Amino acid sequence: MSTSPGWRPRRPGWPVWGAEEVERMRCAALLHDLGRATVSAAVWDSERPLSTADAERVRLHAYWTQRTLERIPLLAPLAALASSHHERMDGSGYHRGTAAPHLSQAGRILAAADVFAALTEPRAHRDGHSPEAAAALLQEQASAGALDSGACAVVLRAAGLSPARTGHPAGLTDREVEVLKLAARGLTNQRIGERLFISGRTVGHHLAHIYDRTGRRTRAGVAVFAMEHQLLP
């Protein structure tokens, strides 16, 4: 990743990053797994499914990364970012369970990079995936709404891979995204239908599918979903 001034992650709407922001992210990436030292090597090297207690120890390694860095004045500003590598867009990650509205662009990229690196490394219970196979699995997680698709694209380009077109979050179709964008702007079903040359009733069917896929139940809710996943300009 270039550290030259004016670097921009290739995602529409993302700001230009200066050298200071890039360096901050680079340092956070180098420190993100510091908390792994709190977990026994016997746990990391286990070929068997982890017990509940061991799984909790693994989950808390990100917490210990944060706590350790917070105690070092020079590194404390990196603590929140460095410990965010297991957070997910849909709130299913750890250790905070932070969801998309509170995840920075740097945090989203760090999470995607961590997944890609983990997939390509051999583990006690599996061989490492090829870069191409890891890219496909990464993009599956983006399509499922766990990872940011733009962040995944940035990571894959940095790895020398050409990311395939990723699906929309929550499995939304192209047409559903079109309806969602217009609904988020406050247009009625009739007006949306006029814009897309479909009936208002068809718009209603699309909105019902959008509610089901996103887990939101109101237009305001799906508008927030669209903003969280950067579907709006």
pLDDT tens, residue by residue, 89-100: 989 999 999 988
126 DSSP 8-state letter? B
169 confidence band (pLDDT: 50, 70, 90): confident
Instruction: Tell me whether residue 182 is in a domain.
Output: yes
Q: Does pTM surpass 0.75?
A: no
CB neighbours of residue 12 within 10 Å: 7
Considering 101, 128, 158, which residue would you say is the last residue of a domain?
158
Q: Which element (helix H / strand E) includes 25?
A: helix 19-31
Q: In the chain, what percentage of residues exceed pLDDT 70?
A: 91
Q: In the chain, what percentage of residues exceed pLDDT 90?
A: 58
Of 111, 182, 199, 190, the closest CA to residue 151 belongs to 111
Amino acid at 223: A
In our burial notation (b when 16+ CB lie closer than 10 A, e otherwise), range 189-213 reads: beebbeeeebeeeebeebbebbbeb
Residue 75: predicted pLDDT: 96
Residue 2: predicted pLDDT: 45
Indicate the average pLDDT of the chain: 88
Please check whether residues 104 and 213 belong to one and the same domain.
no
12 DSSP 8-state letter? T
Of 127, 134, 86, 92, the closest CA to residue 107 belongs to 86
CATH, residue 189:
1.10.10.10
CA distances from 140 to 147, 149, 158, 210 (A): 9, 9, 18, 19
Residue 3: predicted pLDDT: 45
Nearest-angstrom CA–CA distance, 59 and 82? 15
Instruction: Tell me whether residue 11 is in a domain.
Output: no
Are 172 and 183 contacting, i.e. CB atoms less than 8 angstroms apart? no
10 DSSP 8-state letter? S
What is the extent of the structural domain holding 221?
171-228
CATH, residue 25:
1.10.3210.10
Token pair recorded at residue 28: 């956070």
Please check whether residues 48 and 135 belong to one and the same domain.
yes
Residue 124: predicted pLDDT: 85
Nearest-angstrom CA–CA distance, 110 and 76? 17
Residue 29: predicted pLDDT: 95
88 confidence band (pLDDT: 50, 70, 90): very high
Comparing 8-12, 21-25, 60-64, 187-191, the range with the smallest average pLDDT is: 8-12
Instruction: Tell me whether residue 7 is in a domain.
Output: no
DSSP β-bridge partners for residue 126: 123
For the chain, the domain total comes to: 2
Cβ burial of 66 (10 Å; 0-12, 13-18, 19+) is buried
- Express each pLDDT in 114-166 by its tens digit: 999 999 999 888 899 999 999 999 988 988 889 988 899 889 999 998 766 65
Q: Residue 10 pLDDT > 60, yes or no?
A: no
Please check whether residues 113 and 193 belong to one and the same domain.
no
Please check whether residues 55 and 141 belong to one and the same domain.
yes
